[in-house]
Amino acid sequence: MIRKIAILGTDPVNAADVPIGEPDWEIWGCARRADFVTRAERWYEVHRFEGYTPEFAAWWRDITRRQCVGIPIYMLFPEADLGDVRRYPYEEIAARFGTFFLTSSPAYMLAHAIDEIVPPGERFAPEGSALGVWGMNAEGGTEYRSQRAGLRHFLQLARHLGFSTVLHADGGLIFEPVPYPLHMDDPLIAKLKLREAKARKMLDGAANTIAEAEKGITRIKAMAEAGAVSDELKIDLERHQFSKNAALATLASKSGEVAEICYWLDYLRA
């Protein structure tokens, strides 16, 4: 049997990009269901509700119960009163794939899909099998630091097993990183490193300007307190203040630029 499974994460995604209206795709979702998800074959909740505050847990149980009417809910910590709850086969999945890459709900879902379509003992998925991921950008925060590796792992495993894989064009998973140590020859990385060096030089210059301006401002204020007031000192004070303000603006903008460059360097080399 040929199966095509669409894994839906929780990041915003254009409804038109998800194959909701294509009956040959199974829709597997997790967490809160978006309004455009008008059908689903199954839902996943891998979190333990007792780990939340009682108020949030009650609210989340209610959402899960209402959005999963008529479809199975796979849970690591099953709660029978939520509906058609089924135990996620954690022991079997962990024994087969290990736990290192089980870093997100979609990773659990990908592992389950692979295990169902290519059970132990089988070498390849039936021709035409497909796995797709939508709504999982993995471009920031814990998604970038830990979850992305798990998603990439199971997607690559799926390709080795003969699946075709579909990724959302706007998502971060569409980009393949440059592997170590080949990133040393990547022209984009080289360009970013030059930009980073230039920005850091400007940061150093701005910091020095601020320090010198503050010295000048302190000196002039001390002279003013001692009674030395003149038009020249006022002009000098304004000049130092202007230099400090301009340097502070440079410091803010270049700090942001360096942070962005470092993010992309890390992203491209990860």
Determine which of 153-157, 180-184, 197-201, 233-237 has the lowest per-residue pLDDT on average. 180-184
Domain total of the chain: 2
Residues 186 and 123 in one domain: no
Q: How confident is the model at residue 225 (pLDDT cuts 50, 70, 90)?
A: confident
Please name the residue ranges forming H helices in the chain. Answer: 54-67, 90-97, 105-117, 141-142, 148-160, 187-225, 231-269
Q: Are 137 and 11 in contact (CB under 8 A)?
A: yes
Q: What is the pTM of this model?
A: 0.73
Residues 162 and 192 in one domain: no
CA dihedral (132, 40, 138, 106) positive or negative: negative
Report the chain's mean pLDDT, rounded to a whole number. Answer: 88
Residues 70 and 197 in one domain: no
Residues 134 and 202 in one domain: no
Q: For the segment 64-121, what is each residue's pLDDT rounded down to a tens digit?
A: 999 999 999 999 999 999 999 999 999 999 999 999 999 999 999 999 999 999 999 9
Last residue of a domain, one of 174, 205, 234: 174
Q: For the segment 235-263, what is each residue's pLDDT rounded down to a tens digit?
A: 888 999 999 999 999 999 899 888 888 87
Q: How confident is the model at residue 205 (pLDDT cuts 50, 70, 90)?
A: very high
Helix/strand/coil (H, E, C) string of 229-250? CCHHHHHHHHHHHHHHHHHHHH
SS3 170: coil
Tokens of 197: 């060096």
Residues 104 and 39 in one domain: yes
Tokens of 251: 């410091």
Range of the domain at 48: 4-174
Residues 209 and 109 in one domain: no
Q: Are 107 and 93 in contact (CB under 8 A)?
A: no
Residues 243 and 153 in one domain: no
Sequence-distant (6+) residues with CB within 8 A of 35 are none
CA distance 23 to 177: 33
Residues 205 and 119 in one domain: no
Look up residue 42 and give its amino acid: R
Q: Are 137 and 171 in contact (CB under 8 A)?
A: yes
Residues 202 and 224 in one domain: yes
Last residue of a domain, one of 155, 174, 193: 174
CA distance 126 to 8: 22
